[in-house]
Amino acid sequence: MSNAGRNVTYSQDLPKDRVPLPPSDAEIVSTACDYCIVGCAYRAITWPVGKEGGPKANENAFKVDYPRTESLVGSWPSPNQHTVVLKNGEPHNCLVVPAISERVNKSGNHSVRGGGIAQKCYSPWRATSDRLQQPLLRVRGVLQPIGWEDATTITAEVGRYVFDKYGEMAYGVKAYSYQFYENTYAITKLALQSIETPVYAHHDKPSAQDDASGLEDMGIDTFGPSYDDWSASDVIFISGTDPYETKTILFTEHIMEGAPKLVMVLPRKSPGVTWAEENDGIWLQVTIGTDAILHNAMCRYIIEQGWQDQDHIDHWAASDEELDWGMGRGTRNTPWQWRSTRWGASFKKWKKWVLKEKYAEMDVAVKMTGIPREKIIEACKILTGAGKKRRPKTSFMLEKGNYWSNNYLNTISFGNLAIICGAGTRDGQVIGRAGGHQRGGVSAASYPRSKTPERFGKIGRKALNVDNWVRSGHVRFMWVIGTNWIEAMQGSQDLADYIKEHTTGSKHQVERFDVEHVIQRLKARADAGDMVLINNEIYLRTIGNQFADLVMPAATWGEENFTRAQGERILRIYSKFYDPPGDAKPDWKIISMVAKKMGFDGYDWKTSEDVFKELARFTRNSRQDLAPLVKYAAINGKQPYDILRKRAATGYQLPLRLHNNKLIETKRLHNPHVHIDSGQGITTKSKRSGSFTKPSGKLYLHKVDWNLFGDFYDRIKPKKDKGELWVTCGRINALWQSVFDDMRKPYIMQRHPMNFIEISPKDAAERGIENGDIVSLENDEVYVQVGGFYRARHKDFLFTNLEKDGYIKKTQGSASAMAYVTSVVPPGTTFMYFCWPGGGASNSLSSAVADPLTNAPRYKLGKAAIKKIGTIPDYMKKRMTFKEKV
Partner 1 sequence: MSENTKKQEADATQETSPQEAGCISRRKLLMNGGKVGGLAAMSMLLPSQIFSGKAEANQGGMVSAAVTARTVRYPRTKVGSLSALKKDRPVTIQYPGEADGQKALLIKLGEPALGGIGPNQDVVAFNAFCTHQGGPLEDQYDAEKKIMGPCEFHLSTFDLTRHGMMVSASAVQNLPQIVLELEGNDIYAVGVLGLIYGYPDNMMGV
Residues that bind partner 1 (CB under 8 A): 9-21, 55, 66-74, 76-81, 107-112, 115-116, 125-127, 129-130, 244, 248, 252, 256, 271, 275, 733-734, 744, 746-747, 750-751, 874-875, 878-881, 883-885
Shortest Å distance, C-beta 352 to partner 1: 46
Find the shortest distance in angstroms from Cβ 570 to partner 1. Answer: 21
If the CB atoms of residues 14 and 142 are measured against partner 1, the closer one turns out to be 14
Angle formed by the axes of helices 627-635 and 640-647, nearest 10°: 110
State in angstroms the smallest separation of the CB of 109 from partner 1: 7
> Which residue's CB is nearer to partner 1, number 129 or number 707?
129
Shortest spacing between CB 487 and partner 1, in angstroms: 22
Q: Name the residue nearer to partner 1 (CB basis): 662 or 883.
A: 883
List, in sequence order, every beta strand (DSSP E) within 140-257.
142-145, 171-175, 200-202, 235-239
On whether the CB atoms of residues 813 and 868 are closer than 8 A, the answer is: no
Residue 241 Cβ vs partner 1, minimum distance, rounded to whole Å: 16
Rounded to an integer, what distance in angstroms lies between the CA atom of residue 805 and that of residue 407?
24
State the CB neighbour count (10 A cutoff) for residue 870.
12
- Residue 382 CB, nearest distance to partner 1 (Å)? 22
The burial of 572, by beta-carbon neighbours within 10 Å (0-12 exposed, 13-18 middle, 19 or more buried), is given as buried
Q: Please, are residues 672 and 687 in contact by the beta-carbon 8 Å criterion? A: no
CB of 577 to partner 1, least distance (A): 19
Question: Between the CA of residue 603 and those of 172, 467, 555, 593, 679, what are the distances in Å?
Answer: 20, 29, 18, 8, 31
Cβ proximity to partner 1, 19 vs 634, nearer residue: 19
Rounded least distance, CB 341 to partner 1, Å: 47
The strands making up 431-433's β-sheet, listed across from edge to edge, are 282-285, 261-266, 235-239, 394-398, 431-433
CA–CA distance, 33 with 43 (Å, rounded to integer): 9
Cα separation, 244 vs 730, in Å, equals 13
- Beta carbon nearer to partner 1, 350 or 820: 820
Closer residue to partner 1 (CB): 239 or 248: 248
Side chain identity, residue 845: L
Phi, psi of 285 (to 5 degrees): -85, 95
Asked whether the CA dihedral 595, 600, 601, 602 is positive or negative, the reply is: negative
How far is Cα 611 from Cα 26, in angstroms, rounded to an integer? 29
The CA angle 414-416-421, to the nearest 5 degrees, is: 100
Q: Can you point out the beta strands (E) in 231-333? A: 235-239, 261-266, 282-285
Instruction: State in angstroms the smallest separation of the CB of 12 from partner 1.
Output: 4
Indicate the residue among 249 and 480 with the shorter CB distance to partner 1. Answer: 249
Beta carbons of 118 and 131 less than 8 angstroms apart: no
Instruction: Sheet containing 455-456: give its strands across.
Output: 460-461, 455-456, 790-791
Alpha carbon dihedral 554, 559, 565, 570, in 10-degree steps, equals 180
Contact 422, 274 (CB under 8 A): no
Query: CA 413 to CA 319: how far, in whole Å?
Result: 18
Nearer to partner 1, 506 or 545 (CB): 545
Q: How far is the CB of 760 from partner 1 (least distance, A)?
A: 18
In this complex, which beta carbon is closest to partner 1, that of residue 273 or of residue 853?
A: 273
Shortest Å distance, C-beta 649 to partner 1? 17
- How far is it, in rounded angstroms, from Cα 623 to Cα 688? 8
**264 or 420: CB nearest partner 1:** 264
- Supply the minimum distance, in Å, between the C-beta of residue 271 and partner 1: 5
Residue closer to partner 1, measured from CB, 720 or 878? 878
Cβ atoms of 578 and 46 within 8 Å: the answer is yes
Residue 84 CB, nearest distance to partner 1 (Å)? 8
Contact assessment for residue 578 and residue 121, using Cβ atoms and an 8 Å cutoff: yes
What are the start-end ranges of the E strands in 119-175? 136-139, 142-145, 171-175
- Is the CB of 246 or the CB of 452 nearer to partner 1? 246
Residue number with CB closer to partner 1 (126 or 717): 126
For partner 1, which is the closer residue by CB, 332 or 885? 885
State in angstroms the smallest separation of the CB of 21 from partner 1.
5
Report the C-alpha gap between 443 and 430 in whole angstroms: 27
Q: Is 291:240 a contact under the CB 8 Å cutoff?
A: yes
